[in-house]
Structure 1
Amino acid sequence: MPDVFIILFAFMVLVLIASYLIPAGTYERSTQGGLTQVDTESFRFIDAAPLNAMDLFTAMHNGLVNASTLVFLILIVGGVLKVIESTGAISAGIYKLLRLAKGRQNVLILIFCTTFATLASVGVGANLAIAFIPIGLFLARSMKLDPVVGVAIIFLGSYAGFGAGVFDPTVTVTGQTIAELPLFSGVLYRAAIFVVFLAITAAYICRYARLVKQDPAASVMGAAAFEGIALDGQPEQNAPFTRTHKWVLALFVFGFGFFLFGAFNHGWGIPQLSATFIMMGIATALIARISPNTFIQRLMSGAREVLYGALVVGVAAAVIVLLRQAQLIDTLVHAVATSLDGHGKIVAMEFLYLFNLVFNGLITSGTGQAAIVMPIMVPIGDMLEVTRQATFITFKLGDAVTNIITPLSGTLMACLAIARVSYVEWFKFVWPLVLLWIVTGGLFVAVAVAIDIGPF
């Protein structure tokens, strides 16, 4: 399958071609209450502005410049989270939970799903699930279950939390910034999404685990699922949960609380969020007695790990740069809004939700997808008289669901490779859950539109 950068470049080429075929158009815009609003009755066609080859390549630079605030935020967050992870606080905390559960199957599944959902919802990216798959396999084997359960409690738990993105400092911040919403606004509604998605996911895994426990032949991998899977190098289960680990995790929680206080009371934005993470990183280094040079090395290591995703944001923004330069965005918005006219707000937003589900199958980077989709969805939502928060929720839910089944997801394929679970086996296991997530997401979209959910 083509790399996401190749897919994005293909989109850029399509925009270049479209600039010669699709008429340019524009809406009149005005600022009302701090939001840029589109005058829905003002659309008109204008002289075409076809692109050339130089426009195609300069758009990459301009896209990175336009998205620089988000790019730097992602690099800083990735670096600081690497510093926190390197202290062992996250893995030690997980093993502490493992010991407290004392082998109770459903309790263990719920604890692990909740733990990784919580981590993903506060920005410890779902990609981190890859590193913890061996722990999931160890747990599944200890309960005499198959590797699918080992992958599911880590990977699906992470994406249940990612779908809500309660305090996600990357995708949620990207989408809300483009929608001109206060950062992390709508937190109570996303918390409800978090609880429902987590409950559905945990119940689904528990049901499957019960069937496999009763009859190993019920496994999608067959009765001998664990044969040939070596867990050498498994992290030590008895790793102590030290006072340092407790302080590091407490600092992480305090740091988020500190930023949220500033965001809701003083209008803090991305620069202050970046600053908060930098302060958390330095404080973590002091607590864990990490030397300055080692701190920088780990910070840079974490930044390197998320560099790919950060650059995806910039290149995705290049697509929007070209669409704006060719003045095609408003033409596309007008065409979509016209096609949705007469369907009613809820039905129209459900169509946008389904569109985003399909689009996410191609662009699995949440931040990259936000950079492309949100500038188009926001004016459509405005024309439908849907609140910006409801439009963002429609994007966020559409961004999450197909990540757990698309073979274009590098995280999914890496997790399956570690566990030696084939994609066909995973598909057989997960497709009913995907349908449940799609329906549940659609209901949350409908409710958000129906209640005119506000910015807070």
Structure 2
Amino acid sequence: MSESSTTSYQNTVNQTANQTSIKTKRKLELPHVLLMMLLMMMFACFLTYIIPAGTFNTDKDGSMIQGTYHAIAQHPVNPFYAITLILNGGTQSAQTVTLLLFIGGAMGGILQLNSVTKITNFMIYRFEHVGALPLIIGLFSLMAFIGFFIGGDQMIVFVTLGVILVRRLKLDPIMALAITFLPLYMAFSVSPSGMAKIGQILYPDVSLYSGYGGRAIMYLIFLIVTLLYVIWYARRVIKNPDNSMMTTKVWQQQNDYSSNEAMDLEDRKVSWRDYIVVSLVVVTPIILALGNGLLKWTERYGNGVFITVFGLSFVLAYIVKGKRPSEMVDGFLEGAKPMLVVAFAIIMANTISVILEKGQILSTIVHGLTTQLDGASSGVVSVLVFFVATIFNFLVPSGSGLMSVMVPILQPVTTALGVNDQILLTSLSFGGGLGNLITPTLGATIGAIAIAKANFGSWFKFMAPLFIIWMIVGGVILYVFTAIGWSGGI
């Protein structure tokens, strides 16, 4: 065979291999979250054709009266009519979307200043000499502290810091995620300033930041459990790199080349301005918590106070950094971009509820759930809601979207069975937040894995045991807090 023929043959083989690889990747590609929401809307339409319509009698406040369910004529909603109902969904979610866009723009804009990233880089450089485990615990704790106050897809930028550290420590890409992405999202899922706050915004009958002390206790429990698991895994990999759960060993070769790379001087240069900006990030949610709890800001001024406080923090941060007004506007818009998908998801999720209401099947679903849970203790019901929300979260990987769909359905059920609204929102927060860490339908999860140069299979293998532990711990917490009658008093 001639050299040209050999080259031609090799090119053909390579092209075939590439095409096969592309086809394989396409098979694993999952729909965008908005497409998932659209499919959920169409599925809701389908349900209006097959689930019998029914209704409850209501009291003067519009609340369902248990035991008064009765069947009515069918009211199916066709897909074309469902699209027109998106406007109704948008009207219902106007306050939520407005708050998320403005708060997201403010906090995201502050992150654009890179002060938080710089200080974290500085800490890695400053304490590199103390050894692997103290650095791992330190960065994990810092990320968990930040996640206590801030969440959102933009937080995956911190994974880069994990990559820098684990390469210096010759650890695997899973550890890069375990000390950045994991604590950030775990903390936001269970902290009083995270998913619970979103639920309180969506459900105005529960005061914003109420139950702060109780949720802080829950946060500490999850923090300790998760940190112990990460330390256990880190020790395994430090002892023997072959204990890594990565399905490939490429990371070991990469560490051999990059472990001795020096951190750029600019990466560890921190000014007093950066310290002030980071202080604003930390102090702003605390001010809001105290203002709502002690001064009753939201009762006096409404939820718009959140826009005011976060907006002032944003403006002060840009003034401290010496930015021009035009840069301030650009930073705000850039920070708000990740919230656009969230806003659309919330609107479409609310539309699903509208479809179920128009089809007159919401009461039937509530009646079915009430019948199935009838006789169960309130503690068991709170745990079951957590499990149901976790499963549903795989289909709708949006905490806001999940709560928008499930609160109207579950609230009458849980109230009838003795579970108060604080426990309901906590159960949904656990299911809608913790589940995001292992669902491939969330863009942030896939994006974080890509930054760390890991793969979803390896990450899931690492997360599966921890997630089972979370389910057990979360179930026990919910059962105990329900049993003692916690309603947000602390």
TM-score normalised to structure 2 length:
0.86
Corresponding letter in the other structure for 2:169: M
Which residue pairs with 2:281 in the alignment?
252
Which residue pairs with 1:354 in the alignment?
387
State the distance in 1 between where 2:89 and 2:308 align: 23
Cα deviations across residues 212-271 of structure 1 (Å, max 9, x unaligned)? 111111112366533247879987675223211122222333332332233223250422
Superposition deviation, residue 37 in structure 1? 4.7
Cα deviations across residues 395-430 of structure 1 (Å, max 9, x unaligned)? 111112222222222222222222221222222222
Which residue pairs with 1:425 in the alignment?
458
Task: Indicate the larger mover: 257-266 or 83-92.
Answer: 257-266
Which residue pairs with 1:13 in the alignment?
42
Give the gaps of 5 or more residues in structure 2: 1-29
Which residue pairs with 2:11 in the alignment?
none
Q: Which of these residues, 100, 103, 115, is aligned with residue 77 of structure 1?
A: 103
Which residue pairs with 2:72 in the alignment?
46
Cα deviations across residues 31-83 of structure 1 (Å, max 9, x unaligned)? 78xxx754223333333333234430111121112111111111112211222
Q: Which of these residues, 85, 96, 107, is aligned with residue 59 of structure 1?
A: 85
Q: Which of these residues, 211, 220, 242, is aligned with residue 217 of structure 1?
A: 242
State the distance in 2 between where 1:450 and 1:176 align: 26
- Equivalent runs, 1:182-221 vs 2, <5 Å: 182-221=207-246
Quick check: 1:23–1:331 contact (8 Å CA) kept in 2?
yes
Q: Which of these residues, 371, 382, 385, is aligned with residue 338 of structure 1?
A: 371
Quick check: 1:89–1:249 contact (8 Å CA) kept in 2?
yes
Which residue pairs with 1:135 in the alignment?
161
State the distance in 2 between where 1:234 and 1:305 align: 29
Corresponding letter in the other structure for 2:296: H
State the distance in 2 between where 1:115 and 1:146 align: 20
Task: Indicate the larger mover: 382-391 or 103-112.
Answer: 103-112
Task: Indicate the larger mover: 224-233 or 254-263.
Answer: 224-233
CA RMSD of aligned residues (A): 2.4
Task: Indicate the larger mover: 288-297 or 40-49.
Answer: 40-49
Which residue pairs with 2:26 in the alignment?
none
Q: Which of these residues, 252, 259, 266, is aligned with residue 226 of structure 1?
A: 252
Cα deviations across residues 83-106 of structure 1 (Å, max 9, x unaligned)? 211222211221243245343322
Quick check: 1:79–1:302 contact (8 Å CA) kept in 2?
yes
- Equivalent runs, 1:35-434 vs 2, <5 Å: 37-102=63-128, 103-125=130-152, 127-168=153-194, 172-175=197-200, 177-178=202-203, 180-221=205-246, 225-228=251-254, 238-264=267-293, 265-268=295-298, 269-434=302-467
Quick check: 1:179–1:374 contact (8 Å CA) kept in 2?
no
Equivalent residue of 2:35, what SS?
Answer: helix
State the distance in 2 between where 1:215 and 1:343 align: 48
State the distance in 1 between where 2:135 and 2:169 align: 10
Equivalent residue of 1:51, what SS?
Answer: coil
Quick check: 1:63–1:318 contact (8 Å CA) kept in 2?
yes
Task: Indicate the larger mover: 115-124 or 332-341.
Answer: 115-124
State the distance in 2 between where 1:86 and 1:235 align: 19
State the distance in 1 between where 2:393 and 2:470 align: 14
State the distance in 1 between where 2:351 and 2:235 align: 48
State the distance in 1 between where 2:267 and 2:477 align: 41
Superposition deviation, residue 164 in structure 1? 0.8
State the distance in 2 between where 1:69 and 1:9 align: 22
Equivalent residue of 1:289, what SS?
Answer: coil
Equivalent residue of 1:244, what SS?
Answer: helix
| Count of residues in Structure 1 that have an aligned counterpart in Structure 2 | 451
State the distance in 2 between where 1:106 and 1:92 align: 22
Corresponding letter in the other structure for 1:311: F
Greater C-alpha radius of gyration: 2
Sequence identity percentage: 25
Equivalent residue of 2:208, what SS?
Answer: coil
Task: Indicate the larger mover: 12-21 or 366-375.
Answer: 12-21
State the distance in 2 between where 1:13 and 1:283 align: 45
Superposition deviation, residue 118 in structure 1? 2.2
Superposition deviation, residue 321 in structure 1? 1.2
Corresponding letter in the other structure for 1:190: R
Cα deviations across residues 164-214 of structure 1 (Å, max 9, x unaligned)? 13212x662335532620001111121112111111111111111111111
Give the gaps of 5 or more residues in structure 1: none
State the distance in 2 between where 1:413 and 1:235 align: 28
Instruction: Evaluate the alpha carbon distance shift between residue 342 and residue 38 of structure 1 in structure 2; reply closer, same or farther with a 3 A threshold.
Output: same
State the distance in 2 between where 1:175 and 1:333 align: 22
Task: Indicate the larger mover: 37-46 or 228-237.
Answer: 228-237
Task: Indicate the larger mover: 410-419 or 386-395.
Answer: 410-419
Quick check: 2:33–2:442 contact (8 Å CA) kept in 1?
no
Corresponding letter in the other structure for 1:263: N
Quick check: 2:124–2:135 contact (8 Å CA) kept in 1?
yes
Quick check: 1:63–1:315 contact (8 Å CA) kept in 2?
yes
Equivalent residue of 1:82, what SS?
Answer: helix
Which residue pairs with 1:26 in the alignment?
55
Task: Indicate the larger mover: 357-366 or 10-19.
Answer: 10-19
